[in-house]
C-alpha cells in the first residue's frame, strides 16, 4: 500500500479532534444536538485551517445513525461510506474547475431528488469564489430556498470575491489562523505516534513557517521527517530540509547593511546560497525578521505581538538601537519590491544582490524614505566628528575625498604621524580611568550586540602585567550568558567585536589597550577588579586635570 501523507492521515474525524477552531466547533455541535441546522453555510478562512475537514464532519454527523454528543459515530454504514468517498449523499465540487453555468444547473436539477439513504444531501462547494457571475446567479434561488433535505456548505479563501447576494443567504463562519502553540501540540502528538524524536525548537520553527495553517505544518513536518528518516529531527536539520536560514544570520546581515558594507552583505548572502538555501525563502524570512524588529522599536511591549523565544527577543532588542523605524520600513519596501520582481525574473540571485546593494546605498534612490536613511548616515558621521573620531567612508568613495575628509575631521594629529607612530600602551592608572568612564566607552560602541554584552562585564586587570591589558569578565547570569554566546558565536566574530572595542578605546583616550573577554564562570585568580573607589583613593591620580561643569579644566 502506498504511503499516505501525514496531513491526510491525521485529518480529524470528529468535531472534538478539530484544533484551533473552538468557536466554530461549539456552534455546529449545538446546532446538531438541538436540530437547528441551517440550509447554507459559508466557511471562510486561509488555507489549511480546517474548512473542508469540518464540512465533511458536518456531512457525516447529519446523516449519522448513532451520533454521540453532536459528533458522528464513524462506525455506521453512512459514516463509513462518507469517509471512503462512496456515499451518494455527499457531493464535493471543485469550483475552480467546475465554475460554469452548466455545472450549477446540474446541481439545481439534482436537488429535486431525495436521498436514497440517510437524512440529508450535502453539497460541499470548495473555492466557491471561482464561480462565474452566471453560475452565482444560477445558484441564487436554490441557495435561498433549497428543499428541506439539502444542505449547502460553501468554502472559500477569498470571501471578498463572493457577491453579497450569496453572502446574505448563508450563515458565515470565519476560520482563524491556528496559533503556534496549537500547531506544536498537534505535531508533538503525531510525532510521538509515528515514533519520531523531535526537538522543541525544530517543531516551533516548522510551526512558524506554516503561518497558521495546520496542513502546511504537517506537510513541512512530513518533509523534514522524510529528509532525515530514522534520525532525531533537530533545529539545524529542519533548516537544511526546508532550505531556510537561522535568524542569527539575519541579525548579522542587518548589521552590515546599517554600516553600509555592501561587500560583506553580499558575501553573507553568497555563503547562504552555497549552502543550498532558497532565494525566495531567504527574502521572505528576512522581511519577517525586519517586521519583528520594527514592532520591537514601535511598541512598548512587543512580547504579545511577536511569537519568539526570550533569547531571540533579547537579540532583537540589541539590534533595536542600530537604526530607526523609518529605515526599517525602507528595507521592507525594497525587499517587497524585490519579491514582486522575482516572480518574472530568470536570475533571482542577481536581483537579490542588487537589492542588498540598494539597501546599503540609500543615495541610489530618490524616495522619501531613502532621503531619511541618507540623513541617518550623515547624522552618524557628524556625531563621530563631534566625538573626535575618524569617519569610515564607503568603498565607492574616491581616495582623494577620503584623505581630505580624514585630515579635516581627525583627532588633531597628522595622518602620516598616526600611521607611523601608534599610540602607546595604557598604564595601570589609565586603565582605572577607563574603568571609571566605562559607561562612556559602552555608549560609543556602534554594534548593538556588543553594546548589550558590555553591560554585563566587569573590567579587571592583572597587577603584574605592565602591558596595559584589560580583561572583561562576563557576569555569571542567564542574560549575560545569552548575550556572550551571541557575540562569541565564532572566534572570527568575537575577534572582530574585540577589535571594534579596542578602536573605540583608542579613539577616546589615545592609548592602545589590548582587550581580552573572559567567558562567564571563568576567572583568573590573578585578576583584580578595578573599582572606582580605588581611583579616588589613589594618590598618584591627585592633581590630574578634571573637567568642571562649565567645561574648563582645573588642577
With helix as H, strand as E and coil as C, how does 5-53 read? CHHHHCCCCCHHHCCCCHHHHHHHHHHHHHCCCCCEEEEECCCCCCHHH
Give the integer Cα–Cα distance in Å for 146 and 138.
Answer: 13
Q: What pLDDT is recorded for position 130?
A: 92
Q: Which three cell numbers stand for residue 437?
A: 568612564
Query: pLDDT tens-digit profile of 437-453?
Result: 777 777 777 766 777 77
Pairwise pLDDT comparison (388 vs 43), residue with the higher score = 43
pLDDT beyond 50 at 416: no
Q: What pLDDT is recorded for position 393?
A: 41
Q: Which residues contact 237 (CB under 8 A, 6 or more apart)?
A: 202, 224, 227, 228, 231
pLDDT beyond 90 at 303: no
What is the overall mean pLDDT for the chain? 78
- Picking from 435, 455, 428, 464, the residue whose alpha carbon sits closest to that of residue 533 is 435
Q: What pLDDT is recorded for position 366?
A: 67
Are 460 and 473 in contact by the 8 Å Cβ rule? The answer is yes
Rg, Å, the chain Cα set? 33
Name the burial class of residue 365, with classes exposed (0-12), middle (13-18) and buried (19+) by CB atoms within 10 angstroms of its CB. Answer: middle
Are 485 and 471 in contact by the 8 Å Cβ rule? The answer is no
Q: What value does the mean pLDDT take over residues 54-65?
A: 92
pLDDT beyond 50 at 129: yes
Q: What value does the mean pLDDT take over residues 339-353?
A: 86
Sketch out the chain's domains with CATH numbers: 6-174 (3.40.50.300), 180-242 (1.10.8.60), 247-375 (1.20.272.10), 388-420 (no CATH), 428-547 (3.30.300.180)
Give the integer Cα–Cα distance in Å for 5 and 48.
Answer: 14
Buried b (16+ CB within 10 A) or exposed e, 466-492: eebbbbbbbeeeeebbbbbebbbeeee
pLDDT beyond 60 at 411: no
The end-to-end CA distance of the chain, in Å, is 92
Q: 579596542: which residue's cell? A: 502
Q: 470548495: which residue's cell? A: 126
Q: Which ranges of 65-110 does DSSP label H, i.e. alpha helix?
A: 77-84, 101-110
What 232-235 contacts at long range (C-beta under 8 Å, 24+ apart), as own/partner pairs, is 232/197, 232/198, 232/199, 233/191, 233/196, 233/197, 233/198, 233/199, 233/202, 234/199, 234/201, 234/202, 235/199, 235/201, 235/202, 235/205
- Got the DSSP string for 119-188? S-EEEEEETGGGS-HHHHHHHHHHHHS--TTEEEEEEES-GGGS-HHHHTTSEEEEPPPPPHHHHHHHHH
Question: What single-letter DSSP state applies at residue 425?
Answer: B
Q: Which three cell numbers stand for residue 209?
A: 513557517
Q: 556588543: which residue's cell? A: 450
Give the integer Cα–Cα distance in Å for 106 and 116.
Answer: 18
pLDDT beyond 80 at 387: no
Q: Model-level pTM? A: 0.59
Lowest average pLDDT, out of 265-274, 370-379, 420-429, 544-553, goes to: 544-553
Give the integer Cα–Cα distance in Å for 157 and 341.
Answer: 25
Lowest average pLDDT, out of 275-284, 501-510, 522-531, goes to: 522-531
- Picking from 453, 490, 488, 493, the residue whose alpha carbon sits closest to that of residue 474 is 453
Pairwise pLDDT comparison (51 vs 464), residue with the higher score = 51
Amino acid at each position: 500500500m502506498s504511503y499516505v501523507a501525514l496531513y491526510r492521515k491525521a485529518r480529524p474525524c470528529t468535531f472534538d479532534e478539530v484544533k484551533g477552531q473552538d468557536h466554530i466547533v461549539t456552534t455546529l455541535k449545538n446546532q446538531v444536538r438541538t436540530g437547528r441546522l441551517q440550509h447554507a453555510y459559508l466557511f471562510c478562512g486561509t488555507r489549511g485551517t480546517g474548512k473542508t475537514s469540518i464540512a465533511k464532519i458536518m456531512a457525516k454527523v447529519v446523516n449519522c445513525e448513532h451520533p454521540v454528543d453532536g459528533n458522528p459515530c464513524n462506525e455506521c454504514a453512512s459514516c463509513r461510506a462518507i469517509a471512503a468517498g462512496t456515499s451518494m449523499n455527499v457531493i464535493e465540487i471543485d469550483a475552480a474547475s467546475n465554475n460554469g453555468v452548466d455545472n450549477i444547473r446540474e446541481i439545481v436539477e439534482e436537488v429535486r431528488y431525495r436521498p436514497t439513504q440517510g437524512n440529508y444531501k450535502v453539497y460541499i462547494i470548495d473555492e466557491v469564489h471561482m464561480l462565474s457571475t452566471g453560475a452565482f446567479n444560477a445558484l441564487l434561488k436554490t441557495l435561498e430556498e433549497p428543499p428541506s433535505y439539502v444542505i449547502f456548505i460553501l468554502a472559500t479563501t477569498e470571501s471578498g470575491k463572493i457577491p453579497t447576494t450569496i453572502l446574505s443567504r448563508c450563515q458565515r463562519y470565519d476560520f482563524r489562523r491556528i496559533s503556534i502553540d496549537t500547531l506544536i501540540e498537534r505535531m508533538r502528538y503525531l510525532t510521538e505516534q509515528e515514533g519520531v524524536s523531535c526537538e522543541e525548537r525544530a517543531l516551533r520553527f516548522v510551526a512558524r513557517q506554516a503561518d497558521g495553517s495546520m496542513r502546511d505544518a504537517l506537510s513541512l513536518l512530513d518533509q523534514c521527517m522524510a529528509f532525515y528518516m530514522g534520525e532525531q529531527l533537530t533545529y539545524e536539520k529542519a533548516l537544511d530540509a526546508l532550505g531556510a536560514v537561522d535568524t542569527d544570520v539575519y541579525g548579522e546581515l542587518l548589521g552590515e547593511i546599517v554600516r553600509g558594507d555592501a561587500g560583506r552583505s553580499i558575501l553573507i548572502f553568497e555563503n547562504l546560497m552555497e549552502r543550498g538555501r532558497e532565494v525566495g525563502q531567504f527574502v521572505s524570512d528576512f522581511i519577517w525578521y525586519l517586521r519583528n524588529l520594527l514592532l520591537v522599536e514601535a511598541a512598548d511591549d512587543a512580547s504579545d505581538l511577536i511569537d519568539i523565544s526570550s533569547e531571540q527577543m533579547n537579540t532583537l532588542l540589541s539590534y533595536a538601537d542600530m537604526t530607526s523605524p523609518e529605515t526599517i520600513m525602507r528595507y521592507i519596501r525594497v525587499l517587497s519590491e524585490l519579491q514582486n520582481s522575482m516572480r518574472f525574473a530568470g536570475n533571482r540571485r542577481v536581483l537579490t544582490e542588487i537589492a542588498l546593494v540598494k539597501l546599503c546605498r540609500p543615495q541610489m534612490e530618490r524616495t522619501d524614505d531613502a532621503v531619511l536613511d541618507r540623513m541617518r548616515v550623515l547624522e552618524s558621521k557628524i556625531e563621530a566628528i563631534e566625538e573626535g573620531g575618524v569617519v569610515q567612508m564607503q568603498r565607492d568613495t574616491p581616495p582623494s575625498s577620503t584623505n581630505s575628509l580624514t585630515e579635516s575631521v581627525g583627532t588633531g594629529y597628522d595622518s602620516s604621524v598616526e600611521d607611523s607612530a601608534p599610540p602607546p600602551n595604557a598604564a595601570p592608572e589609565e586603565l582605572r580611568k577607563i574603568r571609571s568612564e566605562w559607561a562612556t566607552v559602552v555608549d560609543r560602541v556602534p554594534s548593538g550586540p556588543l553594546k548589550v554584552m558590555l553591560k554585563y562585564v566587569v573590567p579587571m586587570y592583572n597587577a603584574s602585567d605592565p602591558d596595559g591589558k584589560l580583561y572583561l569578565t562576563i557576569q555569571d547570569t542567564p542574560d549575560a550568558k545569552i548575550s556572550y554566546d551571541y557575540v562569541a558565536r565564532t572566534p572570527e566574530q568575537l575577534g572582530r567585536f574585540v577589535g571594534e572595542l579596542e578602536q573605540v578605546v583608542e579613539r577616546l583616550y589615545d592609548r592602545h589597550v589590548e582587550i581580552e573577554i573572559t567567558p562567564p564562570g571563568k576567572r583568573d585568580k590573578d585578576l583584580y577588579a578595578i573599582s572606582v573607589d580605588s581611583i579616588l583613593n589613589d594618590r598618584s591620580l591627585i592633581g590630574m586635570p578634571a573637567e568642571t561643569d562649565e567645561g574648563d579644566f582645573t588642577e
